[in-house]
Structure 1
Amino acid sequence: MRSGPGRRSPRGGPRDRAPGSVHGPTHPDRPRRRADQLHTASPFWYHAVSAGRVDGHPGAGERRVVDGLRAAGVKVVPTVNETLKPGVLASILSSPTRRATHVRALLEVARSGDYDGLDLDYESIAATGDAAYERVRAGYAELVTQLCRGLRAMDKQCVVTVSPKTASTGRIWDYTAIGRAADRMRLMAYDYHWKGGKPGPLSTPQWYDEILRVATAEVPAAKLEVGLPAYGWDWPADGSSRAKHVTWKEAEALRVAKGTPYSLDPESRTPHFGYQEGDQRREVWYQDARGVAEHLPALRKYGVTHTALWALNFEDPDLWPVLAKG
């Protein structure tokens, strides 16, 4: 999720809680450097533009990249997101004919690229209004069911990325139907505080406890992947404008440049600091290896052993041994 309060599986043994998947916009070559702790790479390669059309971004399906990842033992399950105008996705999901057309277009992507599967990351349905909510929710669940059936018939993986669901958020996602159909359901467990809101942590142990309590009640823990943030946001302290994105490296470099001591927030267990920029006071909240180590017990509590990373090359290098320990 890239807006609003709220992305792979390890090979077993002591690495059971490593981020077996990486999800996002970083260069697809990079997962090969962490192949001992990864099993899946999901580069952002495709986007849906209509019921019958799914376009590739520049470089999508580059044979050198796919072959290199496979040689390193990393499965290639590219992400398909959508750039549809408001209401268009709802109209596709609500029509059996248009929905079937879209499933065929997605299966053609999986077939043409000789991939190991697809990751479906359609987020605009989360903002569906009350009038269309139930119809769109049911339509998306049916789309996922049909797509996963088709991918499985091709011996390919079906992964679905969703927003976290709590008692008051995420109602558009039918976790039970998605969890039944998909091989993996990825929870975007980040942006608890987002770039368009007030400053604060991107995730907290308490929030993880709530979203995993809901998710594991509807989906087997073995099918879940928890997406961990490897980045942060740099806000005006008063929240008067949108935050700037920072990677872990950028956040730490800024903290050092400003001469600010390292501090782990006692409640969220995430690093943060403030600094002065001209007349403006700013706050930076981000995540690092120490913070993730404080959050992993929430996953263990619910039996979730698979994690995802948003996104590769944003992260604190010390995160990898932390994840290897679980």
Structure 2
Amino acid sequence: MRIHVVKQGESLWKIARFYGSDINQIILVNQLTNPNVVAIGQALVIPEPNKEYVIQQGDTLWSIAQRYGVTTGALAEMNNIADPSLLYIGEMLLLPYFTYTVQSGDSLWSIANQNGVTVNQIVQANNISDASRIYVGTPLRIPAASRPVKEINTYTTQTTPQGAQEVMALGENFTYLSPFTYAIKSDGTLTDMQDRGLLDAAEAQNIAPLLVVTNFQNNSFDSDLAATLFRNPGLQDTLITNLLEIIQAKGYKGVNFDFEYVYPEDRENYNDFLRKVVNRFKPEGLLVSTALAPKITADQQGLLYEAHDYEAHGDIVDFVVIMTYEWGWAGGEPWAIAPINKVREVLDYAVTVIPRDKILMGIPLYGRDWKIPWVDGTIARTVSPQEAVALATRYGVPIQWNEEYQSPYFRYTDESGQQHEVWFEDARSVQAKYDTIVQYGLRGGSYWVLGSPFPQNWPVLQTNIKVRKL
């Protein structure tokens, strides 16, 4: 997979020809609704012929395997396909092998080196008896380069059949699914959630569901509700018992606590609560995780941050989700949602107190459209990356790139004369995020949130990371 940024005067046909790629494959993987119109500055995912294939109408796993001379089992394993009968148009598959024709001056070592594999892998794939003798013009099967294995969590708020269908369509990309949300009540019970469809989809796609627990009440996080729980040990026991009953009845594999705006004086109470949960959950083989605000120091001030004890959570729970997004929040000034320099600043602190293999880095799947000049008290509109690109093409404005934030943005003027500024995610910005996960040696990433179409994200993820299935 390559990422191409559209330049002045380029057409999709010209871009496809430049890369020797099938234009229909480019249209499908980027889900382009109008291939005749692309925006200057728009990032496009370009599948690599002979290495990647985008599923088209009428394809089966068997027909694709036959076309490329591989087994259906190898294709399924390479792409985390749990059910070979479930293929989705526009889904990009990585091929287990590609063909390379030996050139003058080649050696097995040079071929292996340039393709990120070992000489032994090439020897085994081609049944070569003498590795010192290869001949110009010989076609060799080259195994796909290995990818780092990481875990990926995704939150979803969509409990509708469409939400379950999205999980089915994207399921190979997830280790965990976290339906949002079960909220605590002051008596130790929890609100209900119509999550059966999501749980069935998770099971079909070999995804481990996590039950999300919050102090969410009346459309906001409630500090007093959290305090009621954390200051009453008996209430905690009741809640934990109720949690275990729901988890065992519905088939969840663990819990994710997302308690936000907790009073600073409840910091250690929160830690003690987590210790109690782990003591009850671990004998049952259940996972315990938390969601943490993006801090850059242990003593960072503010109600969002102070009760989130990075070091304690890193010691107590199985893993944490660090919510490295929302710098560009709906009620604030226009800004990148997850500027990579700010994300890295959070990680620079986090890895000093939390084991790297316990950190899932937050990744946004959305953008925002602000009216400008910005006025305090106004609220930006949330847009999907796909909608953001559609706005740029509709108003004929170029998409720009902020190098410091590693994020795309643009400005446009609507029909009423109102000016807007849009920040969103594209193939380049998520590439920077996957690079960061790998460079920092993290456990993986966590998306907020499904329901926002971002087709480019999935081939970029696949190319960079092999998603672990439990």
Fold-level similarity (TM above 0.5): yes
Partner of 1:188: 323
- What does 1:256-267 align with in structure 2 at a 5 Å threshold? 256-267=393-404
Q: Which amino acid aligns with 1:52?
A: G
164-173 vs 278-287, which deviates more? 164-173
Partner of 2:266: 136
Structure 1: distance between partners of 2:388 and 2:246: 37
Partner of 1:52: 188
Partner of 1:72: 205
208-217 vs 106-115, which deviates more? 106-115
Structure 1: distance between partners of 2:184 and 2:336: 32
Q: Answer yes or no: is the 8 Å Cα contact 1:15–1:324 preserved in 2.
A: no
260-269 vs 20-29, which deviates more? 20-29
Cα offset for 1:288? 1.7
Distance verdict in 2 for CA 1:21–1:305, change over 3 Å? same
Structure 2: distance between partners of 1:173 and 1:65: 29
Partner of 1:252: 389
Q: Answer yes or no: is the 8 Å Cα contact 2:167–2:201 preserved in 1.
A: no
Partner of 1:215: 350
Q: Which amino acid aligns with 2:419?
A: R
Root mean square deviation, CA, Å: 2.2
Cα offset for 1:247? 1.3
Cα offset for 1:86? 4.3
Is 1:82 matched with 2:226?
Answer: no
237-246 vs 294-303, which deviates more? 294-303
Cα offset for 1:138? 0.8
Cα offset for 1:184? 1.6
Structure 2: distance between partners of 1:104 and 1:151: 10
Q: Answer yes or no: is the 8 Å Cα contact 2:156–2:449 preserved in 1.
A: yes
Is 1:281 matched with 2:434?
Answer: no
Is 1:319 matched with 2:457?
Answer: yes
Q: Which amino acid aligns with 1:175?
A: Y
Listed one character per residue, the Cα deviations across residues 16-71 of structure 1 (whole Å, up to 9, x for unaligned) are: 25x622112132442222233222111114222224110113x22x1x54233213
Partner of 1:291: 429
5+ residue gaps, structure 1: 1-9
Structure 2: distance between partners of 1:171 and 1:86: 12
Partner of 2:282: 152
Structure 2: distance between partners of 1:296 and 1:146: 34
Structure 2: distance between partners of 1:150 and 1:119: 15
Q: Which amino acid aligns with 1:142?
A: D
Q: Which amino acid aligns with 2:157?
A: P
Structure 2 residue corresponding to 1:30, chosen from 163, 166, 171:
166
Distance verdict in 2 for CA 1:319–1:186, change over 3 Å? same
250-259 vs 27-36, which deviates more? 27-36
Structure 1 residue corresponding to 2:338, chosen from 181, 203, 207:
203
Structure 2 counterpart SS, 1:87: helix
Cα offset for 1:246? 0.9
218-227 vs 25-34, which deviates more? 25-34
Q: Which amino acid aligns with 1:81?
A: T
Cα offset for 1:190? 0.6
- Poorly superposed stretches of 4+, deviation over 6 Å: none
Q: Answer yes or no: is the 8 Å Cα contact 1:22–1:41 preserved in 2.
A: yes
76-85 vs 39-48, which deviates more? 76-85
Alignment length (residue pairs): 305
Structure 2: distance between partners of 1:276 and 1:193: 20
Q: Answer yes or no: is the 8 Å Cα contact 1:110–1:117 preserved in 2.
A: yes
Distance verdict in 2 for CA 1:274–1:251, change over 3 Å? same
Cα offset for 1:82? 2.4
Q: Which amino acid aligns with 1:196?
A: G
Structure 2: distance between partners of 1:86 and 1:20: 29
Partner of 1:234: 369
Structure 2 residue corresponding to 1:164, chosen from 280, 284, 294:
294
Q: Which amino acid aligns with 2:272?
A: E
Partner of 2:234: 97
Cα offset for 1:315? 4.5
Q: Which amino acid aligns with 2:293?
A: S
TM-score by length of 1: 0.86
Greater relative contact order (Cα < 8 A, sep 6+): 1
Cα offset for 1:196? 0.9
Cα offset for 1:15? 5.6
Structure 1: distance between partners of 2:225 and 2:257: 17
Q: Answer yes or no: is the 8 Å Cα contact 1:192–1:202 preserved in 2.
A: yes
Is 1:43 matched with 2:185?
Answer: no
5+ residue gaps, structure 2: 1-78, 81-145, 465-470
TM-score by length of 2: 0.61
Listed one character per residue, the Cα deviations across residues 93-132 of structure 1 (whole Å, up to 9, x for unaligned) are: 123233333333322322232211121112131xx3xxxx
Q: Which amino acid aligns with 1:46?
A: Y
Structure 2 residue corresponding to 1:310, chosen from 448, 457, 464:
448
Identity %: 24
Distance verdict in 2 for CA 1:105–1:239, change over 3 Å? farther
Partner of 1:5: none
Listed one character per residue, the Cα deviations across residues 261-292 of structure 1 (whole Å, up to 9, x for unaligned) are: 12221221111111123243211111122111
Distance verdict in 2 for CA 1:255–1:49, change over 3 Å? farther
245-254 vs 162-171, which deviates more? 162-171
Q: Which amino acid aligns with 1:318?
A: Q
